[in-house]
Amino acid sequence: MKVLFITSSRIGDAVLSTGLLRYIEQRYPDARVTVVCGPLVVSLFEGYPLLERLIPLKKEKRNMHWAKLWRQVVGTRWDMVVDLRNSAVSRLIMAKERYIFGGCAAKAAHKVRQNAAVMKLGHQVPGPKLWFTDVQKEKARGLIPEGGRVLGVGPTANWIGKTWPAERFIEIVNFMIGPGGVMEGARVAVFGAPGEEEDALKVLESVPVERRIDCIAKGSPGEAAAAIARCDFYLGNDSGLMHCAAAALVQTLGLFGPSYDLIYRPWGGHTDFVRTPESFDQLIDFEGYDPASLDHTLMGSLSVEDVKAKIVEMFKKRRAA
């Protein structure tokens, strides 16, 4: 069975789409899958067991990237096409079954549920999953060697508006790993993408030298996700790395402000989120708002006390379980 799977160029959406790959793996274990995705997220799919081919889709002017993709896939008789990009390509090739995102009745639901609705899975909603290559696992072991519990922290995001202040992350880290904390004495691994080093380094440098683990801009998204999978708890802004943590089954707390938690909160019973008192729409409702030129966080109303309370609640639930 030959499957064409067209997914996102963004880390978060790419990770959330892996629930469908998980379903395909379970339902069609002998399938051969071609994954089409943005170049940034290729490493997230390299370990998929049914992978036959990876096609990086780099955006070009006048949508020429879609024409190039069509030329690469039109000669194959596909048994199934799953297109989460709603592209013309999936309509212009031979396929027995087509599942195309667009006009989804569940589009106000969580992204994982939206994806499940694309394939008409009904109440069966497969959660995201990551598969790591041996190379990625080895890189992760080098970054985070054995040696006790690890708190993963993602204090950055791809947009300043949804970045909680670094000094508040520092306060929370001290609360968690300090005397009497829920992760007393734990090591701290700080993550951040290239270009986000400044705030990430502030948090890293606040950790005692013997307990700090530098995972800032240290590899591909797949390698970063493999390292996050070695953590015992992950605290971070709404970002792709937060979704990596949840998909790797790490207990995850996401911090939300100017983004839609209904759609993008971390997925799974091992996760939770806390958000600003204001909604996304309320936070951006001010004169002169321009996401491209915004130069300050919109997360200021999320208090340290609220985050502490949620962490304590999560650890109580874990102990009870």
DSSP 256-300: ESSS-HHHHSPPSTTEEEEE-SS-HHHHT-STT--TTT--S-S-T
Report whether pLDDT(47) > 80.
yes
**How high is the pLDDT of residue 108?**
81
Q: Which residue has the higher pLDDT, 138 or 107?
A: 138
- On whether both 94 and 163 belong to a single domain, the answer is no
Kindly tell me if the per-residue pLDDT of 54 is higher than 80: yes
Show Cβ contacts of residue 290 under 8 Å, excluding neighbours closer than 6 positions. none
- Asked if residue 184 has pLDDT above 60, the reply is yes
Among 93, 118, 143, the domain boundary falls at 118
Q: What is the DSSP letter of 70?
A: H
Answer whether residue 146 is part of any domain: yes
Q: Tell me what pLDDT residue 307 has.
A: 98
Mean pLDDT of 197-217: 97
Please compute, for residue 235, the number of CA atoms within 13 A of its CA located in the half-sphere on the CB side.
32
DSSP category for residue 99? E
Question: In the predicted model, is pLDDT for residue 213 greater than 70?
Answer: yes
pLDDT (0 to 100) of residue 102:
84
Amino acid letter, residue 117: A
> Which of 92, 118, 144 is where one domain is finished?
118
Of 240, 148, 154, 237, nearest to 189 by C-alpha is 154
Average pLDDT over every residue of 86-114: 88
In angstroms, the Cα distances linking 116 to 78, 81, 84, 113, 161 are: 20, 14, 11, 5, 30
What angle do helix axes 221-228 and 240-247 make, rounded to 10 degrees? Answer: 50
| Residue 106: predicted pLDDT | 58
Do 59 and 175 lie in one domain? The reply is: no
In a domain, 313, yes or no: yes
Per the prediction, the chain carries an average pLDDT of 96
Partner residues linked to 53 by β-bridges: 34
Residue 98 CA from chain centroid, whole number: 26
Question: Do 243 and 293 lie in a common domain?
Answer: yes
Domain that holds residue 232: 134-320
Q: Which of 104-118, 190-204, 261-275 has the lowest mean pLDDT?
A: 104-118
In the listed set 94, 118, 142, which residue is the last one of a domain according to the structure? 118
| Per-residue pLDDT reduced to its tens digit, 239-271 | 999 999 999 999 999 999 999 999 999 999 999
pTM above 0.85, yes or no: yes
The answer to whether residue 105 scores a pLDDT higher than 70 is no
Query: Do 174 and 316 reside in the same domain of the chain?
Result: yes
- Whole-number Å distance between alpha carbons of 239 and 36: 21
Provide the domain count of the chain.
2
Ramachandran class of 249: left when φ > 0, alpha when ψ lies in -120 to 50, beta otherwise: left
Number of Cβ within 10 Å of residue 188's Cβ equals 24
CATH at 215 = 3.40.50.2000
Which pLDDT score, from 0 to 100, does residue 107 have?
Answer: 63
Reported as a pLDDT band with limits 50, 70 and 90, residue 321 is confident
Q: Are residues 160 and 32 in the same domain?
A: no
Express each pLDDT in 287-316 by its tens digit.
Answer: 999 999 999 999 999 999 999 999 999 999
Instruction: Kindly state whether residue 257 falls inside one of the protein's structural domains.
Output: yes
Per residue in 128-176, pLDDT (tens digit) is: 999 999 999 999 999 999 999 999 999 999 999 999 999 999 999 999 9
Mean pLDDT of 64-85: 97
Q: Are residues 13 and 82 in the same domain?
A: yes
Please report the pLDDT score of residue 200 as a whole number: 97
Burial grade of 101 (CB within 10 A; 0-12, 13-18, 19 or more): buried
Please tell me the distance from the alpha carbon of residue 140 to that of residue 145, in angstroms, as a whole number: 8
Residues 193 and 312 in one domain: yes
What would the mean pLDDT of 218-235 be, rounded to a whole number?
A: 98
Give the confidence band of 117 by pLDDT, cuts at 50, 70, 90: very high
Instruction: Measure the CA angle with vertex 19, ends 17 and 23; round to 5°.
Output: 130
209 and 288 fall within a common domain: yes
Co-location of 151 and 91 in the same domain: no
Task: Give residue-wise pLDDT tens across range 79-92.
Answer: 999 999 999 999 99
- In the chain, pLDDT over 90 holds for what percent of residues? 96
In a domain, residue 201? The reply is yes
